[in-house]
Amino acid sequence: MISFIIPTLNEKNNIDLTVQKIEKSISEQESYEIIFVDDKSTDGSLEKIKKLSKNNNNINYVIPKKKMGLGNALSLGQKVSKGDYIFFLDCDNSINLQDLIKIKNSKQKNKLVIGSRYLKNSRINGVNFLKVFMSRFLNFILSKYLSISVRDISHSCRIFPKSIFLKTKNLKHPVFFWEHSLYCDRKGLNIIEIPIKFDERKSGKTKNSFFSLIKNICFAFFSIINLKFKYK
């Protein structure tokens, strides 16, 4: 079984399409579950999720006691999951169906598979140039510092075996994913990148703006430095 963990924060207009895309990606031989983790939405997202869960046994939801970051939401979802594989997927519909299928079908017990925005055949559409440049630069610097041969260690779109569970205090984006990638590497998983076409969201507001990215990195500066020594 594959457990899709979907964090939501005011994603009411994206939820239906996300569910439809996941359902289309699943073959007849596969079983799956979708676990939404709603982080105090105010736009009716949770009400929509509850309604979907009543009509679909494959859909469930988790409500965190308080906001503690994207990493906390994903970890809560993984804790209650039943699948053999965990698929972290955002609810912004930035990943198309074809790429979702490619990533899902590349899963293996000894692999972390990341949908990469920065490979030769990857494409990014509609995202601010400065934000892309900064993200790409930080990914390059951090991958070198942490000695991981990966172009996009910060992207949340990834599938891995459920046995890999990261316990950390670095719960903000993108630091959570940097540590998650490093943790998987140190646990002996092969990290595979799949080139994707990444489209800027058409509905809802991004939670990963350029300024929030810089703020989160500044707050986590010492945590980033210590990561290399944490996983020797």
Distance in Å from the first CA to the final CA of the chain: 32
* pLDDT tens, residue by residue, 97-112: 999 999 999 999 999 9
Q: Name which of 90-94, 147-151, 210-214 the model is least confident about.
A: 210-214
CA distance 20 to 2: 16
Identify the residue with better confidence: 14 or 135.
Answer: 14
* Residues 6 or more apart in contact with residue 41 via CB below 8 angstroms: 8, 9, 10, 11, 12
Domains of the chain, first to last: 2-230 (3.90.550.10)
**pLDDT confidence band for 215 (50 / 70 / 90):** low
CA distance 21 to 24: 5
Dihedral of alpha carbons 79, 85, 90, 92, sign: negative
- Chain-centroid distance of CA 4 in Å reads 10
* pLDDT tens, residue by residue, 18-63: 999 999 999 999 999 999 999 989 999 999 999 999 999 999 999 9
Provide the whole-model pTM.
0.93
Paired residues of 194 in beta bridges:
115
Q: What is the mean pLDDT of residues 159-179?
A: 92
* pLDDT tens, residue by residue, 61-71: 999 998 888 99
Q: What percentage of residues in the chain have a pLDDT greater than 70? A: 91
pLDDT the model gives residue 135? 86
Q: What is the mean pLDDT of residues 194-199?
A: 97
Paired tokens of 132 = 């892309």
Cβ(39)–Cβ(7) under 8 Å? yes
